[in-house]
């Protein structure tokens, strides 16, 4: 067997892009009076809300904390069920457990890999309180169908848009459609604050609850406290958490936000280059591109249909890693995790989710990739394809 070409260094599947403007913004904050709970946080919240067209935004220390806050604001508690997808990071369902609720998994669509509204319908019971659709890879879920189901059953929709900042659905930016929407600012996402997350909403009641929840359940707002004893007075009205974002994170986010559109444009450019090449290869399934939405391309997922190859997905994955192409798998079905299996999900099985998981590989995609990086990925996939395809 011929030795395959190998890059000199590992090319990760995703990576942040921090420049001198970002660094300068952080330095300015470090030299100022506030490094936490200062004005930069509200400035960042306003900027995010304006970008997506939402009325309110509440920043959190990370995306998981933001989802936890959204579940709290939605009133999810013991005895409540929340329907979500198994093809996601565990936070999308863990946030329900944090509030005492029960995650219920629906299957995914075979083409988009997002939650299947038909499967959601089948999972609804008298205990269902909310739906958490996930915009996998940056492609918005079928929000029209999901919102319609929610309205008919009086459910709250919390969109996990960790992958889809900058995406649009029916010519409307993701973030102003669901009852609440979460964006993540982890380093591999579209913009980064190091760690960080936000909930955007058009609902003023949810907004007030989110503000309380992220800061110990405490308020100093004179319009909300029941017994104002003086300028020092505050009240803890809920059992909240310390989920606050720092000003250091917020100013980095503000600086990054100014580049978001160019970052997304580069992601789309790279995705198009991949698609033009890989659509020619039998047995390789390229990402579905919906006419109703415009993905922000957090991930580019190829599926290797097993009947066309002489080896399994693991062999292909390991071969690409040996070539210093930092492929990954997004995601293992959540219900397969030991914690979930030990807590009643051991008989869970969703046909489309299982098929997707057994065949998917995420290939590198991030704005800082050079044209040579993109070429390296394409050539590596081509080499592995030609080595392992059935004749």
Task: Give residue-wise pLDDT tens across range 122-149.
Answer: 999 999 999 999 999 999 999 999 999 9
- Pick from 204, 228, 257: which residue ends a domain? 257
| Helical ranges in 286-370 per DSSP H | 313-322, 338-340, 351-359
d(CA 28, CA 52): 27
In a domain, 153, yes or no: yes
Together in a domain, 161 and 285: no
Together in a domain, 279 and 225: no
Together in a domain, 372 and 333: yes
Active-site residue, selected from the candidate residues 31, 127, 129, 189: 189
Instruction: Assess contact for 247 and 37: CB atoms under 8 A.
Output: yes
d(CA 302, CA 320): 13
What pLDDT score was predicted for residue 227? 85
Together in a domain, 151 and 286: no
pLDDT at 3 exceeding the cut of 80: no
Domain total of the chain: 2
Containing structural domain, residue 167: 20-257
d(CA 276, CA 268): 12
pLDDT at 207 exceeding the cut of 90: yes
**In this structure, what CATH number is given to the domain that contains residue 356?**
3.90.1150.10
On the 0-12 / 13-18 / 19+ scale of CB atoms within 10 A, 40 is buried
In a domain, 224, yes or no: yes
Together in a domain, 244 and 265: no
Together in a domain, 228 and 279: no
- Pick from 218, 237, 257: which residue ends a domain? 257
What pLDDT score was predicted for residue 291? 86
In a domain, 93, yes or no: yes
Packing angle of the helix pair 247-257, 39-52 (nearest 10 deg): 30
Task: Give residue-wise pLDDT tens across range 270-310.
Answer: 999 999 999 999 999 999 998 889 999 999 999 999 999 99
In a domain, 206, yes or no: yes
In a domain, 111, yes or no: yes
User: From the CA atom positions of the chain, what is the Rg in Å?
Assistant: 22
d(CA 278, CA 272): 10
Mean pLDDT of 197-218: 98
Cα separations (Å) of 129 from 102, 132, 146, 157, 177? Answer: 10, 10, 13, 9, 18
Task: Give residue-wise pLDDT tens across range 327-378.
Answer: 999 999 999 999 999 999 999 999 999 999 999 999 999 999 999 999 999 9
Together in a domain, 151 and 223: yes
Instruction: Assess contact for 201 and 207: CB atoms under 8 A.
Output: yes
| Beta strand spans in 185-340 (E) | 197-201, 218-219, 235-236, 284-285, 293-294, 300-304
d(CA 132, CA 257): 25
In a domain, 233, yes or no: yes
**In this structure, what CATH number is given to the domain that contains residue 167?**
3.40.640.10
pTM attached to this predicted model: 0.97
Within 10 angstroms of residue 351's Cβ, the number of other Cβ atoms is 10
Report which of 95, 132, 100 is spatially closest to residue 243, judged by C-alpha positions. 95
* Lookup result for tokens 């075979």: 110
- Pick from 215, 239, 257: which residue ends a domain? 257
Mean pLDDT of the chain: 97
Together in a domain, 32 and 146: yes
What pLDDT score was predicted for residue 1? 43
Together in a domain, 174 and 323: no
Annotated catalytic, 122? no
Together in a domain, 186 and 328: no
Mean pLDDT of 83-96: 98
What pLDDT score was predicted for residue 223? 87
Together in a domain, 230 and 318: no
All residues at 6 or more sequence positions from 151 whose CB lies less than 8 Å from its CB, including other chains: none
In a domain, 102, yes or no: yes
Together in a domain, 165 and 268: no
Task: Give residue-wise pLDDT tens across range 147-186.
Answer: 999 999 999 999 999 999 999 999 999 999 999 999 999 9
Pairing of strands 81-84, 102-105: parallel
At 199, give phi and psi (nearest 5°).
-110, 130
What pLDDT score was predicted for residue 139? 98
Instruction: Assess contact for 179 and 203: CB atoms under 8 A.
Output: yes
Q: What share of the chain in percent tops pLDDT 70?
A: 99
In a domain, 67, yes or no: yes
d(CA 312, CA 388): 9
The two structure tokens encoding residue 206: 């949810």
């Amino acid at each position: 067997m011929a030795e395959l070409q190998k890059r000199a260094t590992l090319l990760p599947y995703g990576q942040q892009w921090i420049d001198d403007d970002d660094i300068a913004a952080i330095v300015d904050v470090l030299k100022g009076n506030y490094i936490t709970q200062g004005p930069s946080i509200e400035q960042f919240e306003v900027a995010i809300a304006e970008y997506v067209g939402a009325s309110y935004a509440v920043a959190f220390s990370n995306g998981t904390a933001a989802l936890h806050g959204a579940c709290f604001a939605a009133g999810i508690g013991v005895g409540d069920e929340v329907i979500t997808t198994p093809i996601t990071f565990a936070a999308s369902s863990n946030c329900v457990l944090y509030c005492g609720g029960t995650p219920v998994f629906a299957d995914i669509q075979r083409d988009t890999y997002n939650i299947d509204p038909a499967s959601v319908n089948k999972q609804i019971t008298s205990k269902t309180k909310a739906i958490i659709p996930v915009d996998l890879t940056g492609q918005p879920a079928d929000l029209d169908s999901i919102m319609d189901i929610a309205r008919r059953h009086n459910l709250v929709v919390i969109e996990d848009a960790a992958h889809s900042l900058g995406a649009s659905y029916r010519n409307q930016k993701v973030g102003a459609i669901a009852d609440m929407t979460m964006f993540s600012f982890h380093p591999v996402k579209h913009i980064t604050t190091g760690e960080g997350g936000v909930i955007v909403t058009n609902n003023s009641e949810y907004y007030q609850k989110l503000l309380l929840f992220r800061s110990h359940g405490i308020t100093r707002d004179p319009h909300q406290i029941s017994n104002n004893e003086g300028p020092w007075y505050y009240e803890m009205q809920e059992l909240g958490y310390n989920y606050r974002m720092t000003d250091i994170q917020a100013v980095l986010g503000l600086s990054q936000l100014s580049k978001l559109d160019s970052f997304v444009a580069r992601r789309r450019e790279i995705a198009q280059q991949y698609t033009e090449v890989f659509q020619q290869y039998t047995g390789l399934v390229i990402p579905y591109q919906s006419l109703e939405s415009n993905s922000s391309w957090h991930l580019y997922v190829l599926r290797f249909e097993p009947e066309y190859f002489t080896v399994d997905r693991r062999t292909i994955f390991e071969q690409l890693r040996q070539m210093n192409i930092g492929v990954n798998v997004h995601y293992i079905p959540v219900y397969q995790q030991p914690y979930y299996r030990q807590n009643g999900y051991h008989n869970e099985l969703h046909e489309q989710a299982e098929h997707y998981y057994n065949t998917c590989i995420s290939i590198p995609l991030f704005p800082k990739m050079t044209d040579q990086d993109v070429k390296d990925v394409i050539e590596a996939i081509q080499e592995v394809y030609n080595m392992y395809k059935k004749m």
